[in-house]
């Protein structure tokens, strides 16, 4: 009986050591940042469906991204709720986390359908099944993808 307890204890210690080394903080940062971006895309989609007088979207460029809305009077960047922005900024910079993000522009119409672009306040160029996913990459080289279903706008 004592031998079995000792063997189980040793197996537990070995398993904890292996799991502790298998998961790195950069992997956790990658998961966290990917989930945040996914949720921010869902927020833009929800706003477009709630407020039919404007199209809403998210754009990424040079390792930063931002929420924007387009109305008849023009386009403006909008702060996302729950984000601590630097003073006077409306953009989220990913350089502190070391995570990189593909450049993209994604807008949603009043029924939540995703588009790759807009002309004034009209979405155009619908997302298709052939469009690549948005890729989020950790410093270690591991990456995760965010995919948007063309007709329904499901973000996963």
For 126-148, the pLDDT digits (tens) are 888 777 788 988 888 888 999 88
**Mean pLDDT for the stretch of residues 73-81:** 88
Name the residue with higher pLDDT: 29 or 113: 113
Cβ neighbours of residue 142 closer than 8 Å, sequence gap 6 or more: 26, 27, 30
Tokens standing for 125?
A: 């160029």
pLDDT attached to residue 123: 77
Look at 63-72, 120-129, 137-146 and tell me which has the smallest mean pLDDT: 120-129
Distance, in Å, from the CA atom of 70 to the CA atom of 66, rounded to the nearest integer, reads 13
CATH of the domain spanning 25-146: 3.55.40
pLDDT attached to residue 153: 84
Residue count of the chain: 156
pTM of the shown model: 0.79
Instruction: Give the residues across from 56 on adjacent strands.
Output: 69, 108
DSSP classification of residue 105: E
State residue 38 phi and psi, 5-degree precision: -60, -45
Distance, in Å, from the CA atom of 135 to the CA atom of 119, rounded to the nearest integer, reads 25
Q: What is the mean pLDDT of the chain?
A: 85
**Mean pLDDT for the stretch of residues 109-130:** 80
pLDDT attached to residue 73: 83
pLDDT attached to residue 126: 81
Distance, in Å, from the CA atom of 154 to the CA atom of 139, rounded to the nearest integer, reads 28
**Mean pLDDT for the stretch of residues 106-129:** 81
Cβ neighbours of residue 10 closer than 8 Å, sequence gap 6 or more: none
Q: Residue 16 in contact with residue 8, Cβ under 8 Å? A: no
């Amino acid at each position: 009986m004592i031998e079995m307890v000792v063997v189980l204890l040793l197996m537990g210690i070995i398993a904890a050591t292996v799991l502790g080394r298998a998961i790195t903080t950069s992997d956790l940062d990658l998961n966290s940042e990917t989930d945040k971006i996914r949720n921010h895309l869902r927020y833009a989609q929800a706003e477009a469906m709630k407020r039919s007088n404007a199209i809403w979207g998210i754009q990424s460029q040079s390792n930063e991204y931002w929420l924007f809305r387009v109305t008849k009077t023009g386009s403006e960047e909008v702060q996302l709720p729950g984000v601590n922005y630097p003073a006077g900024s409306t953009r989220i910079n990913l350089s502190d986390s070391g995570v990189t993000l593909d450049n993209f522009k994604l807008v949603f119409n009043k029924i939540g359908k995703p588009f790759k672009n807009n002309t004034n306040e009209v979405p155009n160029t619908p997302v298709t099944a052939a469009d690549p996913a948005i890729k989020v990459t950790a410093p270690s080289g591991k990456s995760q993808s965010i995919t948007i279903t063309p007709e329904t706008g499901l973000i996963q």
